[in-house]
Copies of this chain bind each other. A is one copy, B any other.
Amino acid sequence: MPLAPHQLGTYFALSEAVNLLQHAVEQQLRAEGDLSLIQFELLARLADAGRLSMTELADGVVYSRSGLTYQAGLLEKAGLITREPSPDDERATLVTITPDGLERVQRVLPGHVEIVSRMLFSPLTEQDTAELGDIMTRVRDHMRASPPRSSIRKRKARDSR
């Protein structure tokens, strides 16, 4: 089924707007907190959850395990997180945010929020925001429920080893 013309326009506007927003946010995080977007997301998740295993931390960040190890290494070297073996499962590593890490998140959060408010929400009514949230929540849940073919391929390839 080909895309209808209005679908194409919707897709382009969506991609372009999110790219512009992410680009602006990356500049802000780098300037005010010396953090990449992914590092901020990891810290924000930890600030919310307190302590997570590497696998839990990777969930939702769409990341290879080695990539997460790399980023965790940077954050640990910067003193923003600590890693320790889990007592429950000795294969697992528990990641904890440090006071410095919390301080860093709090430092960049106002600027982050200000940009998102100004760029994304300022031209929207409350009803727009609610509709957008409803639509994108449905889309996200749909995507999470039906993984792309690449994941299926990977699972099949792994299964047939």
Contact = CB atoms under 8 A, between A and B. Distances in A.
A142 interface: yes
Given A11-B120, A116-B3, A17 B133 contact: no
Given A23-B62, A62-B19, A138 B150 contact: no
A17 to B, nearest CB: 4
Interface in A31-50: 31
22 contacts: A1-B114, A1-B117, A6-B133, A7-B121, A10-B132, A11-B116, A13-B136, A14-B132, A14-B136, A15-B22, A18-B18, A19-B62, A20-B62, A27-B148, A27-B150, A28-B149, A119-B139, A119-B146, A123-B138, A123-B139, A123-B142, A132-B132
Given A16-B60, A124-B139, 14 more contacts: A6-B129, A7-B129, A9-B137, A11-B120, A14-B120, A15-B18, A16-B140, A17-B136, A23-B62, A28-B148, A28-B150, A120-B139, A124-B135, A124-B138
